[in-house]
Amino acid sequence: MKRFFCLTLLILATALTGCDSGDGQETNTNNNTQGPRPTVAYVTNGVASFWDIAQAGAEQAAADLGVEVLVQMPIDGVQDQKRMLEDLITRQVDGVAVSPIDSDNQLDLLNQVAAATTLITQDSDAADSDRELYIGMSNYDAGWMCGKLIEEATQDVAGEVSIMIFVGRLEQVNAR
């Protein structure tokens, strides 16, 4: 899982390489050169141990790539995430990776972010937005794989088996 989040940050940082001043002059990419580091934001869709692992991966990738990462976890749901994204637009960060809580109702906001900076979605997509790309998996297929594993693990169990599967937020695309 940590590799997934490092990949997300790596792709975001790579996307930023095309965001130079466009003046045609060469830029020195030597790591010994002092100067402002690109700042990218990694916005989750909530607070959970899953996202703690993501934060560790994002911070490690930022250190490896020489960028600053702002990891933000909305405690109070979609309104909190909205406030965070609006703040990131104001701060003029160089890129945003977000797991939208309610992409259908956040489309205008996500497009505002995409107009202001490089936007990618991860974990939960916003396919109709102007985002650059989505990094994730098919949760439908993953659910089927999980079901097969449960079936295999419980085939020798006598009697009824009850299973509960939890998702973070029902309004997210990846929870449907």
85: domain CATH number?
3.40.50.2300
End-to-end CA distance of the chain: 21
Q: Decide if 29 is inside a domain.
A: no
β partners of residue 96: 41, 119
What angle (nearest 5°) sits at the alpha carbon of residue 14, between those of residues 12 and 15?
65
Asked if residue 117 and residue 41 are part of one domain, the reply reads: yes
Of 54, 40, 51, residue with least CA distance to 6: 54
Q: Looking at residues 93-98, what average pLDDT do you find?
A: 98
* Higher pLDDT pick, 33 / 88: 88
Asked if residue 80 and residue 39 are part of one domain, the reply reads: yes
Euclidean distance between CA atoms 67 and 73, whole angstroms: 19
CB 12 within 8 A of CB 117: no
How high does pLDDT run on average in the chain? Answer: 82
Q: Decide if 21 is inside a domain.
A: no
pLDDT of 166 > 60? The answer is: yes
Res 162: pLDDT: 81
Q: How far is CA 116 from CA 58, 102, 111, 134, in A?
A: 22, 20, 9, 18
Asked if residue 89 and residue 160 are part of one domain, the reply reads: no
Res 165: pLDDT: 73
Asked if residue 79 and residue 106 are part of one domain, the reply reads: yes
pLDDT of 128 > 90? The answer is: yes
Q: Decide if 28 is inside a domain.
A: no
Q: Decide if 22 is inside a domain.
A: no
Res 164: pLDDT: 77
pLDDT of 30 > 70? The answer is: no
pLDDT of 15 > 60? The answer is: no
Stretch (H or E) spanning 98: strand 95-98
Give the predicted TM-score (pTM) of the model. 0.73
β partners of residue 118: 95
Q: Decide if 112 is inside a domain.
A: yes
Res 24: pLDDT: 39
**Which residue range(s) make up the domain with 159?**
139-175
Res 170: pLDDT: 66
The count of domains in the chain is 2
Query: Which is it for the CA torsion 44, 50, 51, 54, positive or negative?
Result: negative
Asked if residue 122 and residue 47 are part of one domain, the reply reads: yes
pLDDT of 132 > 50? The answer is: yes
